[in-house]
């Protein structure tokens, strides 16, 4: 039986992964329509963040391509982790811990620009702590007997 915390985490990972993957695929497949909006919004972001900065068309196009493919890739990785958590696969737990660890490192750098990233750091550290707890880890590594498959887990 999947613990409630693992189920909630798997749903969160699946939702984030679905959103990121669909966003990446839509950006890749609708480049003609969405590229002009991206250029406008990206220009606003650069001017707001760094002042009057000029970029070349090649740099903006390369950024668009990178954002599109990275969103799809990250979405796919999140979907894998969510599926692995939901099915209590050890590789899913490890992947989720790695994702949370990456998010902690990223948020530390982001903290200097956006102080609210401290909340993201705390949430990801909480995810790592929870998935590393002994009782949670045992749920991922324990082999299920044929009796447990038929009768269900008699010792939750």
Residue pair 102/127 in contact (Cβ under 8 Å)? The answer is no
In-domain check, residue 19: yes
Query: Is the sign of the CA dihedral 45, 105, 96, 154 positive or negative?
Result: negative
Task: Say how far apart CA 124 and CA 103 lie, in whole Å.
Answer: 7
pLDDT value at position 122? 97
**Domain residue limits at 49:** 4-150
Q: How many domains does the chain have?
A: 1
Give pTM, 2 decimals. Answer: 0.82
Instruction: Calculate mean pLDDT across residues 47-73.
Output: 83
CA–CA gap between residue 57 and residue 2 (Å, rounded): 50
Classify residue 156: in a domain, yes or no: no
Residue 155 lies in a domain: no
Residue 17 lies in a domain: yes
Residue 94 resides in a domain: yes
pLDDT in tens, 35-44: 888 888 887 7
């Amino acid at each position: 039986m999947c613990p409630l915390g693992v189920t909630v985490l798997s749903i969160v990972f699946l939702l984030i992964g679905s959103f990121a993957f669909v966003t990446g695929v839509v950006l890749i497949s609708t480049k003609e329509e969405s590229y002009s909006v991206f250029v406008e919004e990206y220009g606003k972001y650069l001017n707001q963040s760094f002042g009057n900065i000029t970029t070349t068309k090649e740099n903006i196009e390369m950024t668009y391509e990178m954002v599109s493919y990275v969103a799809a890739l990250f979405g796919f990785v999140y979907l894998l982790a969510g599926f692995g958590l939901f099915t209590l696969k050890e590789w899913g737990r490890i992947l989720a811990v790695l994702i949370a660890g990456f998010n902690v490192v990223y948020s530390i750098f982001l903290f200097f620009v956006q102080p609210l990233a401290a909340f993201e750091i705390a949430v990801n550290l909480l995810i790592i702590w929870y998935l590393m707890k002994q009782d949670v880890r045992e749920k991922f590594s324990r082999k299920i007997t044929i009796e447990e498959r038929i009768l269900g887990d008699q010792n939750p």
